[in-house]
């Protein structure tokens, strides 16, 4: 019997990429590949790249080169690039990085096993020529669902006019493709948290962002597929799901119901075994009163608002092709906290945008000082090829951008630490995510995975990963919280584990 082929998936970038990697893992395992964690133990190392900003691109290239260094020193025979950077640059990336034995775009995902086997056998699969993926679907959202069957949409399942049936003898732990576009999926870790894709692509035209050009137009997954995947994840031991896409507030607009998220969330919250539902990637300009109500009042749906503000000075926002201003944003936050005072809010901001004045920077600082955000990401502006902003005049000197980035980053660090201190005395529900010699760590409802800090529990006897613990915040360490489990909480956890 021939030795089974082995593959390792190395994932960079956002939670959406993590979902894509698990779809690729599902496809490969269903086709007979063995998945391994260590690239040195794999015949093929598949690097799922990020192509969003320069730092992410550098990380992707470094990961490809690191995997390439394994060749000739162990089992690894080939290194293949997939993901956003591979899709965005295609043959240009292949020419610039000959260390990669293959550069595969989204259209290759449905045939990933054959592609890897060709490369492993010494064959060549030509890297694709990049194209604007927004042109693959109709302009009108209402006409997209029928056309989507023939377009590769990572995280949505097969791209074929006649969807492929899942193999009858799927390996244990592999999610079946239960709908017309539901993906095979294999979990790549044992975390009690998993992301679920609501949609792909984006119809917004922010002047600084290239994502729509290589991710395509906005297309929603059907609620039944989202529900079935969530049920499967809960069966695998997942306690919290995080709904991801480029813009969750647009969910359902191509299915004829822009308020579809409001009806889907309560259904997801009722899935057996699930403790939390979290929604990420919300657009402030698209926030609806009904959506705020559902996010702040539905049991198990956490009052968490990942709002993409980007700036608050009106002139800068208009140049970004975005909407709003400081006072409108503060009003939105007041509305949210009026319904859920302990709601978690995070956002990202760009400083040094072309034409940004000192007055604009001061306006952003006014917003940050009044917003009481739990987590803040700050980025210095840099040109992204193919974007409108790259053609703008009035670019700021790199030194000025760096100075503003450092200044606002320091302010942000101070403010999120202050916000954490405001939570001392609060009672938080902590989902335990790690238990080791360093302590017991988890996250409260206001903290998303990896981005928003964590909670250190002062006592963790009898606790295990995946437990939900009620605790009182007694201290802080920067953005992180220190919390003491309440009487009875540990006993309840021990009882639940028997």
Q: pLDDT digits over 8-63, tens only?
A: 999 998 889 999 999 999 999 999 999 999 999 999 999 999 987 777 788 898 88
> Count of H helices and E strands in the chain?
15, 20
* pLDDT of 444 strictly over 90: yes
* pLDDT of 161 strictly over 50: no
Strands 439-443 and 455-457 turn out to be antiparallel
The whole-number pLDDT of residue 147 equals 86
**Closest alpha carbon to 376 in 418, 325, 322:** 418
Report pTM: 0.92
**Which of 51-55, 65-69, 243-247, 486-490 has maximum average pLDDT?**
243-247
The whole-number pLDDT of residue 167 equals 54
Average pLDDT of span 388-412: 97
The whole-number pLDDT of residue 1 equals 39
Beta partners for residue 220, in sequence order: 199
Q: Average model confidence (pLDDT) for the chain? A: 91
Average pLDDT of span 253-263: 96
The whole-number pLDDT of residue 88 equals 93
Average pLDDT of span 131-155: 89
* pLDDT of 475 strictly over 50: yes
Chain-centroid distance, C-alpha 354: 27
Domains assigned to the chain: 4-131 (3.40.50.12160), 180-420 (3.80.30.20), 423-483 (2.40.50.140)
Average pLDDT of span 178-188: 76
The whole-number pLDDT of residue 52 equals 74
Average pLDDT of span 335-354: 98
Percent of the chain with pLDDT over 70: 93
d(CA 320, CA 301): 32
Residue range 360-392, pLDDT digits in tens: 999 999 999 999 999 999 999 999 999 999 999
- Give binding residues for [4Fe-4S] cluster as ranges: 14, 50, 84, 202, 206, 209
Which stretches of 84-226 are assigned E, i.e. beta strand? 102-103, 174-175, 185-186, 193-197, 199-200, 219-220
Average pLDDT of span 348-362: 98
- Give binding residues as ranges: 14, 50, 84, 202, 206, 209
Q: Give the count of alpha carbons within 13 A of 32, CB side only.
A: 8
Residue range 412-440, pLDDT digits in tens: 999 999 999 999 999 999 999 999 888 99
The whole-number pLDDT of residue 119 equals 93
* pLDDT of 493 strictly over 50: no
The whole-number pLDDT of residue 159 equals 59
pLDDT band at 160 (very low <50, low <70, confident <90, very high): very low
* pLDDT of 163 strictly over 50: no
pLDDT band at 487 (very low <50, low <70, confident <90, very high): confident
The whole-number pLDDT of residue 112 equals 95
* pLDDT of 249 strictly over 50: yes
The whole-number pLDDT of residue 71 equals 85
Residue 245 CA: distances (Å) to CA of 212, 219, 280, 308: 12, 10, 8, 13
The whole-number pLDDT of residue 498 equals 40
Beta partners for residue 376, in sequence order: 347
d(CA 48, CA 206): 25
The whole-number pLDDT of residue 180 equals 60
The whole-number pLDDT of residue 168 equals 54
* pLDDT of 497 strictly over 90: no
């Amino acid at each position: 019997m021939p030795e089974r082929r082995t593959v390792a998936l190395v994932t960079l970038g956002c939670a959406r990429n993590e979902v894509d990697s698990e779809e690729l893992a599902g496809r490969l395992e269903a086709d007979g590949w063995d998945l391994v964690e260590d690239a040195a133990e794999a015949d093929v190392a598949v690097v799922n790249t990020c192509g969003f900003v320069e730092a992410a691109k550098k990380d992707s290239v470094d990961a490809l080169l690191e995997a390439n260094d394994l060749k000739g020193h162990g089992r690894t025979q080939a290194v293949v690039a997939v993901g956003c950077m591979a899709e965005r640059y295609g043959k240009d990336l292949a020419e610039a990085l000959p260390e990669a034995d293959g550069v595969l775009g989204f259209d290759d995902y449905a045939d990933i096993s054959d592609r890897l086997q060709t490369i492993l056998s010494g064959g060549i699969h030509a890297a694709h020529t990049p194209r604007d993926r927004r042109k693959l679907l109709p302009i009108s959202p209402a006409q997209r669902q029928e056309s989507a069957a023939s377009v590769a949409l990572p995280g949505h399942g097969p791209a074929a006019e006649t969807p492929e049936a899942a193999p009858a003898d799927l390996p244990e732990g592999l999610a079946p493709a239960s709908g017309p576009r539901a993906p095979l999926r294999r979990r790549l870790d044992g975390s009690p948290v998993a992301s679920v894709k609501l949609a792909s692509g984006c119809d917004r035209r922010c002047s600084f962002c290239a994502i729509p050009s290589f991710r395509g137009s906005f297309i929603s997954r059907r609620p039944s597929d989202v529900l079935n995947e969530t049920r499967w994840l809960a069966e695998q031991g997942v306690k919290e799901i995080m709904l991801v896409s480029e813009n969750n507030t647009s969910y359902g607009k191509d299915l004829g119901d822009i308020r579809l998220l409001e009806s889907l969330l309560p259904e997801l919250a009722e899935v057996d075994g699930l403790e939390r539902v979290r929604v990420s990637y919300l657009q402030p300009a698209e926030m609806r009163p009904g959506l705020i109500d559902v996010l702040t009042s539905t049991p198990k749906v956490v009052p968490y608002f990942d709002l993409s503000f980007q700036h608050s000075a009106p002139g800068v926002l208009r140049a970004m092709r975005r909407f709003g201003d400081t006072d409108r944003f503060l009003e939105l936050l007041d509305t949210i906290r009026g319904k859920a005072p302990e709601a978690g809010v995070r956002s990202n901001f760009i400083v040094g945008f072309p034409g940004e004045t000192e007055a604009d920077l001061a306006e952003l600082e006014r917003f940050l000082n009044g917003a009481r955000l739990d987590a803040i990401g700050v980025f210095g502006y840099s040109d992204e090829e193919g974007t409108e902003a790259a053609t703008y005049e009035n670019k700021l000197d790199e030194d000025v951008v760096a100075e503003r980035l450092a200044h606002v980053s320091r302010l942000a660090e101070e403010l999120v630490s202050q916000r954490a201190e405001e939570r001392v005395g609060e009672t938080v529900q902590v989902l335990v995510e790690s238990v080791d010699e360093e302590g017991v760590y988890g996250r409260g409802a206001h903290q998303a995975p990896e981005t928003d800090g964590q909670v250190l529990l002062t006592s963790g006897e009898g606790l295990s990963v995946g437990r939900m613990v009620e605790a009182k915040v007694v201290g802080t360490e920067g953005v992180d919280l220190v919390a003491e489990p309440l009487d009875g909480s540990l006993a309840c956890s021990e009882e639940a584990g028997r």
